[in-house]
Amino acid sequence: MSKLNIELCPETGICSIIKENGKKVDLMPDEVAELREASGNADGIKKAISEADDAFADGLDPDEIAQISGKLK
């Protein structure tokens, strides 16, 4: 099972990233675009997520960052 549940709404472009412990961050379409631009760059991914939630971004481990990068290419 994946460590993260990553849901991208095709209609609105809003992305929800949910950890196994229930912590969640919702990203607006412009933040999702930043994530896609940062694909493969851990610092860039954390920076894009930190715009919505600093604590969530700080709590991401390398495997979770890789999962986000792979899912939102």
Q: Tens digit of pLDDT for each residue in 19-39?
A: 999 999 999 999 999 999 998
Interatomic CA distance for residues 72 and 21, integer angstroms: 21
Task: Give the tokens for residue 7.
Answer: 């849901």
Q: What per-residue confidence (pLDDT) applies to 61? A: 93
pLDDT band at 1 (very low <50, low <70, confident <90, very high): very low
Interatomic CA distance for residues 40 and 38, integer angstroms: 6
CA geometry: angle 5, 8, 12, nearest 5 deg: 150
Q: What per-residue confidence (pLDDT) applies to 26? A: 97
Average per-residue pLDDT for the chain:
93
The whole-model pTM stands at 0.90
Backbone dihedral region for residue 34 (phi beyond 0: left; psi -120 to 50: alpha; all else: beta):
alpha
